[in-house]
Structure 1
Amino acid sequence: MRAAAVLFDKDGTLFDFSRTWSAWALGVMQHLSEGDAALVEAMACELRFDLGTATFLKDSPVIAGTSREAAECLARALGRRDPEAIEGFLSEEAARAPLAEAVPLAPLLDSLRAAGLRLGVMTNDNEAVARAHLAQVGVGDRFDFVAGFDSGHGAKPSPAPLLAFAAALGLPPEQVVMVGDSTHDLQAGRAAGMMTVGVLTGPAGAEELRHLADAILPDIGHLPGWLSAVVA
């Protein structure tokens, strides 16, 4: 069946995960610790962040989790009972993160739209931050649908937000391709009855994604070729 729409994850898919978020996370922890090295270590432990390499470990709850889950991890490490306040701080800082596009996004998205595909973003980040990031790199107007975990549709790996995208466009799920870098993304896509494509611009390797994906691509720049060869 011909694909009619593509739904992208954001972090690790549209944006290279490590180049965007590793240095940012270290800065956040240093700020919250107020110079206390022991607190930085405690936060890194909760976030599953390797301070030696300044990278998230593959089992980090940050990779596919929500900003609320990240805030709860930090609150535990800091001995605080106000994850809501920490989440607000994270959202403010995330909106200013220096974004590293996985590939030049504007020409890629324009080529997909020129081929008649409708586009969307579903992220476990919050919607306001997602929209800020897309606007920051000048591609917000390329998408027909943008949702976060707080948009009222739920969060991945639930298929509900993916099905909300299909419903918003009036398409059957089998005409949608879900593209993501994590098992949460692809589990949601499979559960929704969509085609699934894994990309390797996040922490997960091909071996972790292969059983959930119709294809594994190095990055989203290879998507037009796959669509043309396989499902167009």
Structure 2
Amino acid sequence: MALDVIRAVLFDKDGTLFDFRQSWGGWTKSMLDRLAPVTTGPLAQALGFDPQAMDFEPDSVVIASTMEEIATVIAAHVTLPYPQVVALMEEVGKAAPMVPAVDLPLVLGELRARGLRLGLATNDTEAPARAHLAGAGVLDLFDLVLGCDSGHGGKPAPGQLLAFAEAMGLPPGQIAMVGDSLHDLEAARRAGMVPVGVLTGPAPREKLSPHAEVVLDTIAGLGAWLDAR
């Protein structure tokens, strides 16, 4: 059976466009430093983060959860009310130094030159996501940016993915969902999109491969994969 032609690519953000450990290790350390005076328990342990190694446990809530879910964990270990925790997370998130996984203007520009529509579906909130894309000089390459607060929920639910397909006027089977976590690949399966894994996040190839049509080292391999496909 012939495969559908890919006409659009929907990206996860953290661990896909940006190197997860280098980017979110800094964010998590900044949050711990800012919250230290109001903590009531071992917050780093609750977040599954080692501040000395600047690395995460495989099951860390920071890796694939929505910002609301992470905020709930943090709020249980500080004296600040939940809304203030969320506001602080957004403040620190917008300023977090994101480290691109590849040359994003080059790679994404080449995909646009192929005529592909591009989108972002992240479990981060929309405002920091836009700030991160703008900081990398690629915001204008995206047709649609969706965060967990954009009205369609978060992954692994398929709401963001289906909203992108509808906005682009494309059947889900003509869209590749690219991500570094099982949340991303599960969302792709539930939406009927083509699941593509990348290794710029915490998950190893053997964990992603059973759930993806292909697992690439980075998104730089998308062009060659599209040609071979």
Fold shared by both chains (TM-score > 0.5): yes
Q: Within 5 A, what are the aligned runs for 1:13-162?
A: 13-34=16-37, 39=39, 42-78=42-78, 80=79, 82-162=81-161
Q: Tell me how large the CA RMSD over aligned residues is.
A: 1.4
User: Does the 8 Å CA contact 1:46/1:73 hold for their aligned counterparts?
Assistant: yes
Gaps of 5+ in 2: none
User: Does the 8 Å CA contact 2:26/2:97 hold for their aligned counterparts?
Assistant: no
Amino acid in the other structure paired with 1:69: E
Amino acid in the other structure paired with 1:196: P
Relative to structure 1, the CA distance from residue 206 to residue 41 in structure 2 (aligned partners, 3 Å threshold; closer, same or farther) is: farther
If the length of structure 2 is used for normalisation, what is the TM-score?
A: 0.95
User: Does the 8 Å CA contact 2:26/2:96 hold for their aligned counterparts?
Assistant: no
Amino acid in the other structure paired with 2:55: T
Distance in 2 of aligned mates of 1:51 and 1:95: 20
Amino acid in the other structure paired with 1:15: F
Share of identical aligned residues, percent?
Answer: 50
User: Does the 8 Å CA contact 1:68/1:84 hold for their aligned counterparts?
Assistant: no
Displacement of 1:108: 0.7
Relative to structure 1, the CA distance from residue 40 to residue 206 in structure 2 (aligned partners, 3 Å threshold; closer, same or farther) is: farther
Amino acid in the other structure paired with 2:32: M
Relative to structure 1, the CA distance from residue 58 to residue 41 in structure 2 (aligned partners, 3 Å threshold; closer, same or farther) is: farther
Distance in 1 of aligned mates of 2:52 and 2:80: 28
Q: Which residue of 2 aligns with 1:5?
A: 8
Q: 1:3-29 deviations in whole A, cap 9, x for unaligned? A: 000000000000000011112211210
Give the stretch that moved more between structures: 52-61 or 83-92.
52-61
Please state whether the residue corresponding to 2:161 is helix, strand or coil: helix
Distance in 2 of aligned mates of 1:74 and 1:153: 23
Q: Name the count of aligned residue pairs.
A: 226
Displacement of 1:200: 0.6
Distance in 2 of aligned mates of 1:75 and 1:160: 26
Relative to structure 1, the CA distance from residue 81 to residue 92 in structure 2 (aligned partners, 3 Å threshold; closer, same or farther) is: closer
Moved over 6 A (4+): none
